[in-house]
Amino acid sequence: MKNERIILFSLIFCFTAIIGIGGVLSSDTVQAAESTVSMNVIVSGTGGDVTNNPYIKNNIPSSDLANQVVEMAKNGTPMVVFGDGSGPKTMIIAGVHGNELSAQIAAMKMIDYLNGKQIKGTVYIVPFVAPSITAQNERNWNGQNLNSVANVAGTPTNQIVNKAKELKIVVLGDFHSTQPGGDPGKYSALCSKAPTYESYNIANYVSKQTGCKLIIYPKAGKKYPGAVEDISNLAGIPAVTCEVVSPHGTVATGSVDNSFNQMIALLKYKGVI
C-alpha cells in the first residue's frame, strides 16, 4: 500500500508539471500524506536549469518533489504551496541574488521537510527567485540587483511582493547569504520598526530562536530602498531579511543549516509548525 501511494504521488506530480509547461501551472493540488501540496510558476521570463549550478545540483534533495520543483524552475519562478490557503500565511523567499546559494539550498530542504508534515496554516516557498541566474551562479538578473528594484513595476521581486499582497501573507522572510566582512557580514535577522512594527517582532523572535544577530532599522525604505523586505513592510506585509555568512558563489560549511534554522524559526513565529 505504501509503494502504491508513492507511485500515485509521483504520477500526479508528473501530470501537474506537464499541464503547467509553458506558463502558470494548474491550481489543482495533490495530497502528500498529511499536507496538501501544489506548485505554480508565478513569474515568467526568469526560468533556467538550476542544476547547471554544481552547488545546487550536489546539495539539494533528490526527492520526486524536489525534482518537480527543478523542472518547473525551467519555465520561470516556482512557488510551492503547503496548505489550502487557510490559517496564518507565511512566505519564504530565496535566490533574490542568484549567487547566494545557501538559502536556496535551505529552501529546497524546507520543501522536503514540509512534505507530508501537518501544519497549521499555509506556507508559500519561492526557492529560486530567478532560476536563470542561479543556474549561472550570477548575482544580478538582466543587469539588475533584484533586491533594489522590488518597487519597480514588472521586475521579478516586484511581482513577488504583489503576489504576497494578493495572498494576504502575514509573515514574509527573504533569505540571503552575506560575504564575510560584507554588509551586514553577520549571521543576522534584519528588520524595521516602522511602518510595520511586527517586522521587529518577527526578527527578534528569529534572533532569539537561532542566536543570530538582531539588526534594527527605524523605518523601512531608508537604508535599503527597493529591497524585498522594505517594500513588503511599506505595503503592510510584516517582513524580515535573514542572512547567513557564506562567500558569494559557494556554500560555507554550516551556512545551509543556519539558513534552514532561520526558516524554521520563521514558521514557528505564528505557530505554523
Q: How confident is the model at residue 192 (pLDDT cuts 50, 70, 90)?
A: very high
**Nearest C-alpha neighbor of 173 from the set 188, 152, 195:** 188
In this prediction, residues 159-174 reach a mean pLDDT of 98
**Tens of pLDDT, residues 133-153:** 999 999 999 999 999 999 999
Tell me the pTM: 0.88
In this prediction, residues 6-16 reach a mean pLDDT of 38
- Residue ranges covered by each domain of the chain: 2-269
CATH architecture of 2-269: 3-Layer(aba) Sandwich (3.40)
* pLDDT score at 35: 72
**Nearest C-alpha neighbor of 37 from the set 146, 144, 113, 94:** 113
pLDDT(24) > 60: no
Q: Is 140 helix (H, G, I), strand (E, B) or coil?
A: coil
**Nearest C-alpha neighbor of 102 from the set 266, 262, 263, 256:** 256
- The mean pLDDT value of the chain amounts to 90
* pLDDT score at 170: 98
**Tens of pLDDT, residues 215-238:** 999 999 999 999 999 999 999 999
Residue 88 grid cell: 496564518
